[in-house]
Amino acid sequence: MKKLLDNRGRLFGVISVIDVIVILLILLLTAGVYLRFFVMEKTAVATESDPITYELLIAGVRDYTVNGFREGDIVYDTVQNVNIGTISAIRVEPNTSNTTLLDGTYVTRTVPDRYNVFLTIDTTGLISGNRYYVNRTYGIGVNTTRSMYTKYVAFSATVTSVG
C-alpha cells in the first residue's frame, strides 16, 4: 500500500498537492461563471421610454446666469457630453446665507445680486428599483452634484428630487 504523500510531496506518488489546488480553483471558477451567466435569474430592466422628472438646484449664481436659462432648452452633461433632459420649469429665489452675530446668534440674510435657480428637467430613461438612468449610463440620484450646460450657460447643479 502506498503512502498518502511521498517524500516529494505528491499524492499517492503521482500528482502534487499544488496541482490539485490549482485544478480545484479552476473548477470552482468555471462553476461560478456558469452559475452567474447561465443559471441565475436575470433582473428585468424597464424600457428606455420610462418618463423621469427631476429637479436641479443651481445655488448662488448671478443674474446673467439666471437669464441664460430658457424653458425647452436641452441640458447636457459636461463629462459624458450626453443629453440628460429638457428644461420644463424654472424657479428663481434669492440666495440666503446664515451669518453669526457678535452675541453668538445666527441670522439668515439675503445675499445681494445672488440667486438660487431650480430647474425641473423632463427626460426618458431606465427606472430599475430605486435607480434612475438617463441614456442607460447617466445615473440621477438625490444630492448628486454634476457639471452641466445648455446652449447658453454652463453650471454645476445638485439634484434635489427625482420622481
Structural domain includes residue 3: no
Max CA distance (Å), the chain:
95
The sign of the dihedral angle between the CA atoms of 108, 111, 112, 113 is negative
Average pLDDT over residues 142-157: 93
Question: Do residues 113 and 96 touch, judged by C-beta distance below 8 A?
Answer: no
Inform me whether the pLDDT recorded for 120 exceeds 60. yes
Structural domain includes residue 57: yes
Is 99 in the same domain as 66? yes
List pLDDT tens digits, range 123-132: 998 888 788 8
Is 89 in the same domain as 118? yes
Q: How far apart are CA 28 and CA 32, in angstroms?
A: 6
**Domain span including residue 94:** 50-162
Is 90 in the same domain as 22? no
Is 28 in the same domain as 104? no
Question: Do residues 69 and 153 touch, judged by C-beta distance below 8 A?
Answer: yes
Residue 159 grid cell: 439634484
Burial 21-53 (b: 16+ CB within 10 A, else e): eeeeeeeeeeeeeeeeeeeeeeeeeeeeeeebe
Which band of pLDDT confidence, cut at 50, 70 and 90, is reported for residue 40? low
Residue predicted with more confidence, 71 or 135: 71
Residue predicted with more confidence, 47 or 9: 9
Is 17 in the same domain as 65? no
Is 32 in the same domain as 109? no
φ and ψ at 103, to 5 degrees?
-85, 5
Considering the entire predicted model, what is its pTM? 0.67
